[in-house]
Amino acid sequence: MWYLLHSSSINVRQKLCILSLCTSLLPRRRPKSKDLLKMAFAGILNEADIAAAIKDCAAADSFNYKTFFAKCGLSGKSADDVKKAFFVIDQDKSGFIEEDELKLFLQTFQAGARALTDGETKAFLNAGDSDGDGKIGVDEFALLVKA
Ligand SMILES: [Ca+2]
């Protein structure tokens, strides 16, 4: 590339074009997702409770949403806090927790936590999806948490 830039066979315009192309290829600094995740439930849940709840369902197919919401402390929180938690889990901010977000549910609580198995994801979705639209809305979520 430097050879091209110093070469007299291309004009200034072409050189600028090459330069801007190279700049656009440079990696951009991204926020550290681990830090974001760590802060996601700050002010709502306490970290030790989250860690205990995650540890409790570390084995595949051992996830139970009732146990989890009780252990992490969410079931004892106010309707407002439950709503805040919903919007953390609704990663794409669509207003619903879709199946792919449900699968990565545990990872929104703790970076590096396992994904739910397909069976766990389906069972979780079926438990919450009372109107049968294939996703969990904020009211359905509130009912699940308090179940
Ligand atoms: Ca969503």
**Mean of the pLDDT values across residues 105-124?**
96
Q: What's the gap in Å between 8 CA and the centre of ligand 1?
A: 54
Q: Which residue did the predictor score with more confidence, 147 or 38? A: 147
Q: Is pLDDT above 90 for 10?
A: no
Tell me: the pLDDT tens digits for 19-62?
666 566 666 655 555 455 456 898 899 999 999 999 999 999 99
21 three-state secondary structure: helix
At residue 7, the pLDDT reads: 62
Q: Which two tokens stand for residue 136?
A: 């969990």
Domains of the chain by start residue, with CATH = 1-29 (no CATH), 33-146 (1.10.238.10)
69 is in an annotated binding site: no
131 is in an annotated binding site: yes
Question: Considering only CA atoms, which of 141, 63, 61 is closest in space to residue 97?
Answer: 141
Q: What's the gap in Å between 25 CA and the centre of ligand 1?
A: 30
Q: What's the gap in Å between 50 CA and the centre of ligand 1?
A: 22
Q: Is pLDDT above 60 for 114?
A: yes
Quick one: three-class SS letters along 63-121?
CCHHHHHHHHCHHHCCHHHHHHHHHHHCCCCCCCECHHHHHCHHHHHCCCCCCCCHHHH
Q: What's the gap in Å between 39 CA and the centre of ligand 1?
A: 19
81 is in an annotated binding site: no
